[in-house]
Amino acid sequence: MSQSLNSPSLNSQSLNSGGLRPAVAGLSIAVLLAATSLICGSNPVVAEQPEPRPLPGAETVEMFQAIADGKIDVKLTVKNGEEARVVARNLTDRPLTIEPPDGFAAVPILAQNQGGGGDLGNFNLPPEKFASQKVGFVCLEHGKPNPRRDMQYEIKPIDTLTDDPRVVTLLVEHGNGRCSHAVAQAAAWHLQNGMSWQQLAAKRRTHLGGGSEPYFTPQQLRGAVQMVNYLERTVDKEAAEAEPATVPESTRPYHRR
């Protein structure tokens, strides 16, 4: 059961102004990085963005299988603490339509930190060409250094970083633009690193010129509490639906021998 934050009760206003947004279909992803772990989000849009049409004659391939088969090369380059870019290269002489997984991890090539993301959306790769996609992210390893622009990351399956279905679902929700970066970050540190809401409320951001300010506003933390509660309900419901139904002994049909 999730903890409650000692602050005003959650409501629809705290959802919207606190950082939770209407669900949208986008091509942004959520990425958890080493030393920093991150997840992405896109700005809310009015209409859903349709999946791109496959290129004529394109082969549809799952992203990690295509990487393992040597058909594509995928890297992630960090821009700042909240934004990065995924760059994919088609290594074959035929067009490909890439199907990314729901979530994935990003590991620094020079091994320092780790992270993850979700809901990149299908994308096309012409023969021997590059395609890039902007992504956002949240830190999943509290206390480690921020990612740097000069570091490159290798994309890995999400289970190399976390086996918590709530975190994976959070990545997908953030990638779909359902919450702001601040809400996703607070929820990620709470779920992945075990930080209490009181610890997150006490965390401060220090400025280079001196002085500091709260890392999260009370409104953002209320949004994070509500997001975690939503994630737990969603995961519990999916687990219950996945369990095989058992028929009580008293209701089973009687068969005469």
Confidence band for 257, pLDDT divided at 50, 70 and 90: very low
pLDDT at residue 35 is higher than 50:
no
**Domain membership flag for residue 251:** no
Residues 6+ positions from 9 with CB-CB distance below 8 Å: none
218-242 and 165-175 helices, crossing angle to 10°: 120
Would you say residue 194 lies in a domain? yes
How far, in Å, CA of 224 to CA of 234, rounded?
Answer: 15
Most confident of 47-56, 122-131, 153-162: 153-162
Lowest mean pLDDT segment, chosen from 35-39, 47-51, 214-218: 35-39
What total of structural domains would you count in the chain? 1
In a domain, 246, yes or no: no
140-185 residue pLDDT tens: 888 877 777 777 777 888 888 889 999 999 988 888 888 999 999 9
| pTM for the whole structure | 0.71
Please report, in angstroms and rounded to a whole number, the separation of the first and last CA atoms in the chain.
Answer: 49
Which residues, including other chains, have CB under 8 Å from residue 192's CB and lie 6 or more apart?
Answer: 32, 37, 140, 141, 162, 164, 167
In Å, how far are 178, 201, 239, 247 from 244, measured between CA atoms? 31, 41, 10, 10
Q: CA–CA separation, 186 vs 184, rounded Å?
A: 6
Q: Which domain holds residue 73?
A: 12-241
Rounded Cα–Cα distance for residues 23 and 136 (Å) = 16
For 175, other C-beta atoms within 10 Å of its C-beta total 31
**Is 4 among the domain residues?**
no
Tokens representing residue 133 in the block? 């996609």
Cβ of 163: how many Cβ atoms within 10 Å? 9
Q: Is residue 36 part of a domain?
A: yes
- Give CA–CA dist 176/185, Å, rounded: 15
CB under 8 Å to 208, separation ≥6 — which residues? Answer: none
| 200 is a domain residue | yes
120 pLDDT higher than 50? yes
Distance between CA atoms of residues 167 and 158, nearest Å: 10
